[in-house]
Amino acid sequence: MDIQSIKNRFGIIGNSPSLNYALQVAGQVSNTDLTVLINGESGVGKEVFSQIIHSLSARKHNPFIAVNCGAIPEGTIDSELFGHEKGSFTGAVDARKGYFETVSGGTIFLDEIGELPLGTQARLLRVLETGEFIRVGSSKVQKTDVRVIAATNRDLLERTQNGKFREDLYYRLSTVPIRVPSLRDRREDIPLLFRRFAVDFAEKYKTAPIQLDDEAKNLLINYTWPGNVRELKNIAEQISVLSTDKQISGRELQRFLPETPQNRLPVLAHSGSSGHEFANEREILYKLFFDMKKDVTELKKMFVDILQNPPAAAQHSGILNEFKEMNSQEIIQPAYMQPMVSNNHPVVLPSHEDIHHHEEVEESLNIMDVEKELILKALKKHKGKRKDAATDLGISERTLYRKLKEYDIKE
């Protein structure tokens, strides 16, 4: 079946080269029993590709089931996939067949495959390599004939390097990889998709289809679409229902587009000459701790200066009033805060005890204390296992051993 026939049959809109290539690979691999790994962001339509592969295969008259691996609790996913025997765990009042048993002869689509627990990954690898599985609580080996199509919006190769996904399973799953492009990678298809959705919703809600002017089209094309096709469809439905004018301008469309998410972390500036890069989130947090420490120290010095030199309070009054506004619950309420007026500017000053309190806050921001606390938490979490704790902390076991000696931490 050619690409256009696939598009017509499954209602796929778009002509971008990346989309056409993904459909071509899906069509070519459908008549085989090869395992397929579909990669793509959330909302691009990965499940549609699994249905295309199954519908064009020799298994098309046999069962097809889609399983969201991320939606099943870790404690029950083995039972869901492979079944269990009566009494094998609390609540197992009857024996139950798993998906690999009930779908034998058909296709199973494992969405969010990267969320599978490591133990379940080992069971899945055995099914892929030998076609064998064992129910939970049983010792009897059973056979199954199931084609596996997996999908993920994560970088599985990176997860293998972090020890969160089995490397052998990754290579076994990705016999034939298919990458479904994001909407940002096929911007030329966005107006076509929107028009199709607008017509569909007009029929559904018995109204005239909405139309976009040139400014609105440009706005639609240049939006980032983090939710991809799913988000575009939702926006089209919102406008179809809520807009009174069926000719949509750029200004009108802007009301329905979410604001671009902004990173709310402080920007960490560094000189270009130093070439310093923050290697990971832990270093960013350390930098934030240092900045907070510096801010608290400067604020404390300002308070001391005002106490020792009351006329100086006037020049600081604007800052203090702004600070008081931002932290009204913490600064205005305590009884030890005494009001003072200088040049008709009310200023709230702390007592010596309050300054001592700020010194205590400064102490708690010590980077060594923070690092020691993180190490203790990691060791407690992994019950003293250094290797696991080091992996969780993102450092080598040797570095962890050195830190234990440095901070005199007794295990």
Q: Which string of DSSP letters, residue by residue, matches 129-171?
A: HHSEEE-BT---EEE---EEEEEESS-HHHHHHTTSS-HHHHH
Q: Which H/E stretch holds residue 371?
A: helix 367-381
Which of 81-95, 268-282, 339-353 reaches the highest mean pLDDT? Answer: 81-95
The pLDDT of residue 201: 95
pLDDT surpassing 60 at residue 332: no
Residue type, position 274, single letter? S
| Cα–Cα distance measured from residue 59 to residue 81, given in angstroms and rounded to the nearest whole number | 20
Q: What is the pLDDT of residue 102?
A: 95
Please say whether the beta carbons of 197 and 211 come within 8 A. no
| Token pair recorded at residue 84 | 């269990």
What phi and psi, each to the nearest 5 degrees, are found at residue 212? -105, 140
Question: Band of the pLDDT at 167, cuts 50, 70, 90?
Answer: very high
Q: Read off the pLDDT of each residue in 322-350 and give the average, rounded to a whole number.
A: 46
Give pLDDT tens digits for 282-319.
555 555 665 676 666 677 677 666 666 665 555 555 55
The neighbouring-strand residues paired with 339 are 348
Structural domains in the chain, sorted by start: 3-179 (3.40.50.300), 186-254 (1.10.8.60), 281-364 (no CATH), 367-406 (1.10.10)
Region 17-29: mean pLDDT is 96
More confident residue, 135 or 264: 135
